[in-house]
Structure 1
């Protein structure tokens, strides 16, 4: 049975799963939490609920519906998606999940810290993807901005090819042990054509050739960058069936263009799920 892994368990992810599992696929949803909908209170503008429904209840009912149909759930943080023999490997903090196709339905968060000149040096020392750009910093000094599991994962990727790697927690306490870090608050990035220094709030400066941003958790933007998906702003570019530029990879919900509404997310998920079925029947 062909395997579909869906990243995200909001309305788009659940909708994709419902259609895909009924179409005969082995479906796994992996998500750290319920995403944006989990932070909402009450939903009043979705069809079928006279008087509205709580966001949490809608999430719970959707997950229970998917479980009843045989969808498997993994509660974990996704840190990357890579090409593999089976098609793709969805990498979490604790394990790798094999997939023949993937649906990205995990929102639009692009966690860019408010550091002076960070945009100026994007592509000139500031990167959002260790596996994409780490190779270019061999024998150089780099930092990873972040204080949680995603930063730790990016550190591991970089440490395989670069000796001098330090985690910059930007004033936050790290959630990990035994890794080199500095917890000083970052004020700005400085340099000429390329990044040369990190300036801290306490006035100290330190030489860095590159900095990799890995704040919070990896969202659709970060995962798309790692795979080489086409991006427009902070949205993944798809065709009208929610297929990306890479065969077997689909995107749905808030990570693609359009209204950020539940009704639209459910529609996106339906498209992605049904298209994944058709793709895997042919491949």
Structure 2
């Protein structure tokens, strides 16, 4: 009996040690990545500082003048544009599947959403470059330009030559990519709404839309917010699809028809060509900033969810 107890105690200690090691490994990997990026960025940090680097629009490898402002702008504007388009569409998809869709069709639409999420990003990029971008440049963008250009302020967003390789096309491609993630999470969150809450609302005469608007969506706010954060992280870090359709132009775009650059695309396109210490260090600095943005995004999300839980 004592031997059995001792054996079980030893196994428990061993199992606890293995789980601790696994958890510690995750933390060690994160710290290692941060330290590696920081060490490789020191040359650029010494040369430009933090605020000098993120506020500078220069990106000239010949003169060794580097700044993150243009790539930060491109990263944030394409992500914001994608979210503006994806969030309402995703909510509509989730509402339809959980509340309006006939039971026979639910598995079909749910599977379609999951398949859309499983498509590799390079496939989106190739489709965007060879099919969607020409369609945008030849048909859709000229119509948008003709419709919105006469409008003060808003018309500025639709100036320039509509070629299809631009911020607008990139935002649409990104929105298509992140929509399945938001829709799937929100669909599952809607499905967790207690049936008693919905039946009580129907019992006092609420319509289906009122139940969705006043019961299901408020109950699922945390899940909706979490899905948006996940989608934002995906959009911030997307590389291949964006590289095909954004144009990789280091400039602050003033129109949705302008080409631009993101941090990830700059890293992918220029890392193998960087031949100077300062050039290479500046690319590592961009990677460090991107990592910091994702940490900041996670911190904001956790703070929000913690306050919601009180």
Which TM-score tier does this pair reach, normalised by the shorter chain? under 0.3
Structure with bigger helix share is 2
For the pair shown, the structure with the greater C-alpha radius of gyration is 2
TM-score, length-scaled by structure 1: 0.22
Which structure has more relative contact order (CA 8 Å, sep 6+)? It is 2
